[in-house]
Amino acid sequence: MSASQKPATAADREAADWFARLGSKSVSTEALQAFFTWREIPENAAAYKRQEANWDRIGQLKGDPEIHAMLQDAGRPKPRRSFGGGWLGPAVLALVFAGVGVGVYQVYYAQTAFETDVGEQKSIQLADGSFVRLDTDSRIRVRLNGAGRKVELLEGQALFKVAHDARRPFTVSAGGATVTALGTVFDVRRSSQGVEVVLVEGKVRVQAAGGPDQILTPNQSAHTTRQGAKAQPIDATTATSWADGRLVFSGTPLQKAVSEVNRYLTHKIELDAPDVADTVISGTFRAGDRTAFVSAASDLFSLEAQPQPGGAVKLVPHRTKNP
């Protein structure tokens, strides 16, 4: 009996179950912590690596017509079924290949979604050891397998600290732009104006339709549009201060600062003061602290805060009382 044909151990069965659990549409922080605790045991870590190796070995068989047909068939919707004590949702494919000269393998394709509400931030550790800090009102979809690591930023902003793995590229796609990590820490923000990439450490490649690739080095950013990506210098520490719960403004027009503060608020700030809308403001504020920002802006620009129906507050020029 070859090594690939040995009966599965308890650790192998648990590793297969973790593949299934991590492939659900959402994974709780508690479940992820339990996974990392389980993987700290050397026998379990080895079993999990075997699962990843199995994916790689199956990937080498893609040219085989029989395997291709089985993969195509597996892609069709099937009823939910249990495996190893866990439930496989529609985002997970659990396939068993046998009689093809390489033993029996279980292949999993994991797709996991994470999101935050307005005013919420979340730290996530992915199964490969990478970290993601998800900003307010943001959503990502993660796909990890033996061939690569792919994250789609569907809304908002996220800071990535990528675990080194030369065999599996780590890419982030957002609004037509693709960022490939070359061992790095970087920030990606998606908005109606395009995609903004900020590099903190290491190196990334930014690809956008309509222009050449841009290789960023630390303290550079790239803003992508339909015409491509343009690199420029930036203070990465300031640009990523949101990850520490701070909003740092340095010579920022008041209107732009208000828009940034509003990203963290359910009850917004309305600025109705055209004479000072483009006047710059500098300072550090705690994300979500509307009271502190309104107070500072009112004092600096002689504005009056007027409560609005529904909970918003409007900043208007201070009215001078007649003597």
Contact (CB, 8 A) for 252 and 237: no
Residue 274, pLDDT above cutoff 50:
yes
Distance of CA 129 to the CA centre of its chain: 14
CA 256 to chain centre: 24
DSSP symbols for 278-304: TSEEEEEEETT-HHHHHHHHHHHHTEE
Winning range, highest mean pLDDT, from 41-50, 72-81, 103-112? 41-50
pLDDT for position 96: 32
Predicted TM-score (pTM) of the model is: 0.67
Instruction: Name the packing angle between helices 290-301 and 254-262 (round to 10°).
Output: 170
Question: In the chain, what is the straight-line distance between the N-terminal and C-terminal CA atoms, in Å?
Answer: 100
pLDDT at 218: 94
Q: For 229-240, what is each residue's pLDDT tens digit? A: 888 999 999 999
> In the chain, what are the domains?
3-108 (no CATH), 111-239 (2.60.120.1440), 245-317 (3.55.50.30)
- Kindly report, residue by residue over 146-157, the tens digit of the pLDDT: 888 999 999 999
Of all residues in the chain, what percent carry a pLDDT higher than 90? Answer: 48
Q: Are 118 and 266 in contact (CB under 8 A)?
A: yes
Q: Give per-residue pLDDT as tens, 58-98.
A: 544 444 454 455 445 544 444 333 333 333 333 333 333 33
101 pLDDT more than 60? no
Distance of CA 93 to the CA centre of its chain: 23
How much is the pLDDT for 33?
A: 67
Q: What is the pLDDT of residue 8?
A: 64
Structure tokens, 95: 């396939």
Task: Average the pLDDT over 265-283 and give the result.
Answer: 95
- Per-residue pLDDT tens for 167-191? 889 999 998 889 999 778 999 999 8
Q: What is the pLDDT of residue 74?
A: 45
Rounded alpha-carbon distances, angstroms, from residue 16 to 9, 58, 166: 11, 16, 24
